[in-house]
Structures are given as C-alpha cells and as structure tokens.
Amino acid sequence: MLVDLPLAHLDRPFDYSVPARLHEEAQPGCRVKVRFAGRDVAGFLVERRDESDHPGRLSPLRTVVSAEPVLAPAVRGLARLVADRYAGTVADVLRLAVPPRHARVEDEAPPERAAVLVPGLDRLMEPWAAYDGGGAFVTRLLSGSAPRAVWTALPSEAWPARFAEAAAATAAAGRGSLLCVPDARDVSRLDRALTELLGPGRHVTLTADLGPAARYRSFLAVSRGRVCIVVGTRAAAFAPVHDLGLVAMWDDGDDQYAEPRAPYPHAREVLLLRAHHEGAATLFGAVARSVEAQALVVSGWAAALSAPRAVVRDRAPQVHVAGESDSELEREPVPAARMPRRVFEVVRAALGAGPVLVHSPRYGYQPALACSACRRAARCERCAGPLARTSATQPPQCRWCAGRAESWACPHCRADRLRAPVVGALRTAEEWGRSFPHTPVVSSGGAHVLDEVDPRRVLVVATPGAEPRVAGGYAAAVLLDTWLTLTRPGYRAGEEALRRWFTVAALVRPAAEGGRVVAVGDPTSPALQSLVRWDPAGFADRELADRAAARLTPAARLATVAAAPETLTEALTALALPRYVEVLGPADVSERQQALARVVVRTTRERGAALSRALQQLQAGRSSRKQAPVRVQVDPPDLG
C-alpha cells in the first residue's frame, strides 16, 4: 500500500489486510482509504499477497474509494525512479502523475476503441528525408525498435506534422506514443496535426486547462487502453500509455517543463527515465538545441538528426546584427541604440511584402524605473518594491504592493524625475505606431496572446513565447534589446536567449523569398554570431564544454539546499555527504521579508545517485524529528 503522506521518513509501502467484503474491489492500482496514525488517509493499493513480512497484526482497509486501477505498474516504478532522482518522495510524485478522481466520469460508458489508420509508408518517410538519418529513424519506429534521436528542425518546419508522423509509425508497430510540448498553444497545433493525419478519436490531450472532468476522462481513456497516443504538457510525461514505444518532446529547453512543485522534476528527465525503464524510442526536437540535448548526442546515447548545410541555407532567412558594418557605425554613432536606422530601413522595405514581427523581451509598458539623475532603481517608499508604469497616463506604481508613487523623490540624490532603463512590449508598440503611422500595430503577450495573424501589412509586437504564426511566414523580424536577454542572472542566459531568437527567426520566410532578421545588439556576442551562422548545435557544444569546465549541469550533478539561516546550519551539520562532494556557500537568497540562505552541493554525474540518497536521508531524519523543513532541489533549472 502506498499511503499519501507528506513525511519523508514514511516514504515506503505499508501492509494492510483486505477484508472479505472488499476482496473483489481491492485490486492493484485502485484508490483506497486506510487508517494511519488515528485518521483516514488516502492511498493506492499496489500489490496483493497471501502473506505479509510484518510480524504484528495488520490493520484492515477502511474502504475502496474506486475500483478503477488508475496507478499502472509502469507509472508506479517511474514514480520511484523520479523520487530517487530528485531526492523526493513517491507520494509527491504521484500527486503529479495521477489526476484527482471524478466519480461521474468513471461511471460513463466508455466509447469503443478506435483503430489507428496508419498512412502509407511514403507519406511517413518523405518529409523526414530532408534530414540525415531521418528516414532510418522512421524505419526503426515502424519495425518496433527503440531509436534515440535529437532532431534539429529546419526553419519554418511543420514540426507538429513530423511528430504526428513519428507517432503514426510507432502505432503501425502496435505501440503507444507520448508527445510532450511546452504549452496549450502547442498542444492545439499537435492535436490538429494528429487529427489530420490519423483521424479523430485516435489520440487524447492531457493539460491542466481541460478542467477536472475532461482531464480525468482523457486519463481514463489512456489508462483503459482505448487510445495509444497522448499529447500534453509536462504532467503528461506520467500518462499510463500501454506498451509505450515512443516518448517525444518539442523544445526541451523551454522553462515551462520544470515542475514548480516538490520534488521539482523536469519533464525531459522524466521522459529519459521512462524511455530507459520501458524500452521506448526517444525524440527530442527543436529549432535550437539545448545543452542537455547536446550532452545526449556527445555521449553517444542519442543520434543527431540534422539537415545538410545547403538545405539549411535554402530554408533560413538572412540574419543581420545592426551595427556590424563600418558604414553603419559611421551613420549610427551609438550602436547600442534601441532602434538603429538599419532597423527602420529593413522594416520599411519588408512591410511592402507582408507582416513584420518585432520581438520585445519584456511585457508591460515601463516594467522598471530608475532615477534620471543617479540611475539607481526606483523603489516604493512603503515596501521597497520596484516601481513601474503601466501606461503613459498613469503614475508610477509598486509591483509588490500596488501602491502609487504620486510624488516620488530619490532617497539618494533627492531628484524627482524618473527614466525607464527597460521598455516593455506595450511601450514598444506605442513607439512603433508613431514611427509607422499608416501601419496597424498589434501586440501579443501577457494575458492577450495571439495564435495567428493574417498575412497582411501589419506590425506585430510580441514577447517571448507569444509570437503568433502567419501563413507563408513573416517578411522580416526585429530582435530588440538583445542585451537584456543576455544579461539575465544565471548561467543559462546565453542558451535561453539563443533559443528564443531561433524560435522567432524560424517564423520568417527564407532569404530567397526576401526574409530578413535584424538583431539589435553587440555583433561580437557568441550567441548572436551563432544566430547569424544558423548553428544551434555549435553553440550548444561550446556551452557544454564551458559547463564541464565550470562543473555545472549537465556535466555535473547539482543540488541546492535552502532554509532560514539557523535551520540551514542545523541541516548541514546533520547532512552525511558522500565522498567527492563540494559544498558552495551559504549565500543569502532572502525573498522580500523572508530571510533565506542557500548552499549548492555538487559532484560528478556518476556520483549523483549517492548525493540524492544523502539528501533523502536528510529530509527523512528531519521529518522524523519534526524539525523545520528545508527546500531541496536537485539539478535546478538555474542558480540565478
């Protein structure tokens, strides 16, 4: 019995007796309630045995909540692997893996299973022929084997169609597929591609946006084996697909794959564990390439699926960094200006051929303000939160307490004028509207995200991840404030910046059709140079070498331990670390009014399992003694 308990020292199965009245209903995988420490606690029945190893008397099951076997053996094994990998508990992982019960949905008559109608071999193979090794990958899927690949998609590639073809090839071999994407918009695109290729009813989607009933209905369709193809966001990585033959993920570098709840697993690592545990094929695809994906290629665990350079040049737009030529430097004495003359020249010419995308890294109007005299950040007098401005007609407002700063004065130099060191997308749209008064300007970002725009003369100002698509591609794209993305705190700033820029550039027409991309920034930046050369693999390889030299993820195994300073000192005293583990810190990471300290512990990847066990034992010891909890996070997305 796996009991839903939040205590680390109770992270193990417990034995209970099954009363005769529950004999038929109490089957492995079902939800039950048991008596634990004087109260009724939910749990999952995982196994029936004739005898128990427990020497004492066994407590009986209280009741069977539902006879539906929602916890598959493969998912239960995966939950244990994930808990051990991230120094967590199985109970925390199962909360992510199994959705809450919806009784009415369980009582619905299930529809008949729809047979998957697989298209012809040529229909599946031809689109992958543009990539070296693409045809062989699909052939192995058709044969039922388990190839592993990291796919670098061409610009303007219809990646949902390619994922659908991979899933169809896996279905032809009689096996299931699990396809993970970053957000609901990508789920919709992949949903349409699968419906077009295989017909309706052959797959389900699993996202939090579906609502409790619809999500549980989709989950049961998978659990009961009615469908064998699942599309979803990070939580779908645990979907109980029968005879899993393929796990695939689009854009694995997206930070939305990192789970914000304990034990903080990353969906990419969950899929890797699952592929190894269940013998499934693996496909990680993106326009850019994450450092983790490059590590899989360098280690030989996965093969690289990339198009020849000649094909890439034919499909990619022309990329230019404003200020990189001597003539531009003469005309533009300040190359770091936000919108150099070259940008306006390119946009003016491109608007005659179609829409233009303007990429702004920050949403809002003026998301940060500073003193115009001493340049120090403007802070709220009440709570010391950062000040911002939501529109040209509104006074500065605190982003923490929402208090208005009607008569602000700098506490350092007593100046009363503010400047905006960072300009948001709304302010950018206002500026571009004045520069091109006869061209419509639309914004996409924040709570207002557009999925598509018409292929007409229009300026589209979008924030990262909110870029709408357009039929035929954009005539041009402008990347503003590249310095802002590159100077983010953390060691992943360059990788994340390049991933965003490749995503934008891939929406632009090929250079042969006039497609242009202009990046405003430092032309000597390695990330911008990789964009100009359209070389995502080369940049990822250099980043991987730098991470190995600095002993950072994925070349090493990192973990952070954070708590109040006194609690952290107490925890570190009790932490029994294995050999060859380095402790960095403590460092002050206080959040607003909460005092926090953090240490970073790191070791080699080969000793990562021992480090996770030591952290699990620390949590178990503290919970058994009812001590204040500490936050443990293994391989955090960043250290910023």
Beta strands in 78-156 (DSSP E): 148-152
Question: How many folded domains does the chain comprise?
Answer: 4
Of 58-67, 206-215, 372-381, which gets the smallest average pLDDT? 372-381
**What whole-number distance in Å separates Cα of residue 270 and Cα of residue 235?**
10
Tell me, yes or no, whether 328 and 294 share the same domain. Answer: no
* pLDDT in the model for residue 425: 65
CATH assignment at residue 576: 3.30.70
Q: Which of 504, 189, 132 is nearest to 312 (CA)?
A: 132
Q: Is residue 582 part of a domain?
A: yes
CA angle 350-353-356, nearest 5°? 50
Tell me, yes or no, whether 298 and 331 share the same domain. Answer: no
Q: What values do phi and psi take at 230, rounded to 5?
A: -125, 135
Domain that holds residue 572: 556-634
Q: Answer yes or no: are the C-beta atoms of 557 and 635 closer than 8 Å.
A: yes
Would you tell me how many other CB atoms lie within 10 Å of the CB of residue 310? 8
pLDDT digits over 543-592, tens only? 999 999 999 999 999 999 999 999 999 999 999 999 899 999 899 888 76
pLDDT higher than threshold 80 for residue 277: yes
Find all residues with CB under 8 Å of 573, minimum gap 6, and list them.
Answer: none
Would you tell me how many other CB atoms lie within 10 Å of the CB of residue 496? 22
Q: Which of 170, 240, 239 is nearest to 198 (CA)?
A: 170
Find all residues with CB under 8 Å of 58, minimum gap 6, and list them.
Answer: 15, 16, 17, 52
Tell me, yes or no, whether 502 and 449 share the same domain. Answer: yes
* Burial (Cβ within 10 Å: 0-12, 13-18, ≥19) of residue 277: middle
The pLDDT confidence band at residue 424, using thresholds 50, 70 and 90, is low
Tell me, yes or no, whether 178 and 267 share the same domain. Answer: yes
Q: Of 512, 546, 580, which residue constitutes the final position of a domain?
A: 546
**What whole-number distance in Å separates Cα of residue 89 and Cα of residue 98?**
15
The pLDDT confidence band at residue 309, using thresholds 50, 70 and 90, is very high
Q: Is residue 48 part of a domain?
A: yes
For residue 389, give both structure tokens.
Answer: 């401005």
Tell me, yes or no, whether 293 and 393 share the same domain. Answer: no
Considering only residues 123 and 355, tell me which one the structure prediction assigns the higher pLDDT: 355
Cα-to-chain-centroid distance, residue 97: 17
Considering only residues 595 and 86, tell me which one the structure prediction assigns the higher pLDDT: 86
The model carries a pTM of 0.89
For residue 82, give both structure tokens.
Answer: 């994930």
| Residue found under tokens 């950062």 | 386
Tell me, yes or no, whether 570 and 602 share the same domain. Answer: yes
CATH assignment at residue 149: 3.40.50.300
Average pLDDT estimate for 193-201: 92
**What percent of the chain lies above the pLDDT cut of 90?**
68
pLDDT digits over 601-635, tens only? 999 999 999 999 999 999 999 999 999 889 999 99
pLDDT digits over 492-502, tens only? 999 999 999 99
Q: Is residue 86 part of a domain?
A: no
Tell me, yes or no, whether 538 and 564 share the same domain. Answer: no
For residue 538, give both structure tokens.
Answer: 């080369």
Q: Which of 582, 581, 585, 633 is nearest to 607 (CA)?
A: 581
Tell me, yes or no, whether 264 and 296 share the same domain. Answer: yes
CATH assignment at residue 10: 3.40.1440.60
Q: Of 29, 49, 69, which residue constitutes the final position of a domain?
A: 69
Q: Is residue 175 part of a domain?
A: yes
Q: Answer yes or no: are the C-beta atoms of 360 and 425 closer than 8 Å.
A: yes
**What whole-number distance in Å separates Cα of residue 390 and Cα of residue 612?**
45
For residue 445, give both structure tokens.
Answer: 């970002």
Strands 387-388, 229-232: pairing is unpaired
* pLDDT in the model for residue 304: 97
* Burial (Cβ within 10 Å: 0-12, 13-18, ≥19) of residue 117: exposed
* pLDDT in the model for residue 529: 95
Q: Is residue 354 part of a domain?
A: yes
Average pLDDT value over all residues in the chain: 90
* pLDDT in the model for residue 551: 94
pLDDT higher than threshold 60 for residue 329: no
**What whole-number distance in Å separates Cα of residue 133 and Cα of residue 604?**
32
Q: Is residue 510 part of a domain?
A: yes
Beta bridge partners of 462: 359, 444
Q: Of 269, 294, 311, which residue constitutes the final position of a domain?
A: 311
pLDDT higher than threshold 50 for residue 95: yes
Considering only residues 154 and 371, tell me which one the structure prediction assigns the higher pLDDT: 154
Average pLDDT estimate for 344-351: 89
Q: Is residue 202 part of a domain?
A: yes
Q: Is residue 110 part of a domain?
A: no
Q: Which of 548, 558, 635, 630 is nearest to 589 (CA)?
A: 630
* pLDDT in the model for residue 373: 85
Average pLDDT estimate for 113-142: 86
Average pLDDT estimate for 158-172: 95
Strands 516-520, 318-322: pairing is parallel
The pLDDT confidence band at residue 206, using thresholds 50, 70 and 90, is very high
Average pLDDT estimate for 340-365: 85
Tell me, yes or no, whether 611 and 580 share the same domain. Answer: yes
* Amino acid at the residue 587: A
The pLDDT confidence band at residue 326, using thresholds 50, 70 and 90, is very low
* pLDDT in the model for residue 323: 61
The CA-to-CA distance between both ends of the chain, in Å, stands at 40
Average pLDDT estimate for 531-544: 96
Tell me, yes or no, whether 126 and 272 share the same domain. Answer: yes
pLDDT higher than threshold 90 for residue 111: no
Tell me, yes or no, whether 537 and 562 share the same domain. Answer: no
* pLDDT in the model for residue 327: 43
Tell me, yes or no, whether 353 and 470 share the same domain. Answer: yes
For residue 569, give both structure tokens.
Answer: 């000192």
Torsion on CA atoms 207, 302, 313, 461, rounded to nearest 10: 20
